[in-house]
Structure 1
């Protein structure tokens, strides 16, 4: 499974969130390749799930993309709950 972490410029916040997603998927037993990118690239890059802030995910929604929106991108609890609900319990 491929998870793509997305932010506006694909630099700082998406990289930090990528590290948290890798940690959370490991703790939850989810086997996933996790990378990060900017919004423009994400629109043409295939992935099983796209994760980011709500405003960024709104721009990716549709076209059968599975998006996971976070209110607080740095909350491990919110991230784990979102992964659980969207991947493990789906």
Structure 2
């Protein structure tokens, strides 16, 4: 099982919201073999996930994470869907 981790500054609010959106997108697209998780940027390490999702303002601090998806808007579900499906496929 591969992991997609949403990361935010505190690891609580926005990353949890993105995690739920990731789960919805995976389900709607019929994609299995992936699970979503969330964490704070300070606690996220490259070995914790296969793909990481962060907001643009955190991207410079998240360069140590592999397979990074940078979102301009955390609430734009279409942006997340397009970038996530492109990364998976």
* Alpha-carbon RMSD: 1.6
Which position in structure 1 is the counterpart of 2:84? 83
* TM-score normalised by structure 2 residue count: 0.86
Which position in structure 1 is the counterpart of 2:16? 15
Which position in structure 1 is the counterpart of 2:74? 73
Q: How does 1:9-88 map to 2 (within 5 A)?
A: 9-31=10-32, 32-43=34-45, 45-62=47-64, 65-88=66-89
Paired residues in the alignment total 87
**CA deviation profile, 1:15-68 (whole Å, cap 9, x unmatched):** 1111111101111222211111100111365210000201223322246x1100
SS in 2 for 1:16: helix
Gaps of 5+ in 2: none
Q: Decide whether aligned partners of structure 1 residues 87 and 37 sit closer, same or farther in structure 2, where only a CA change above 3 A counts.
A: same
In 2, Cα distance between equivalents of 1:44 and 1:84: 20
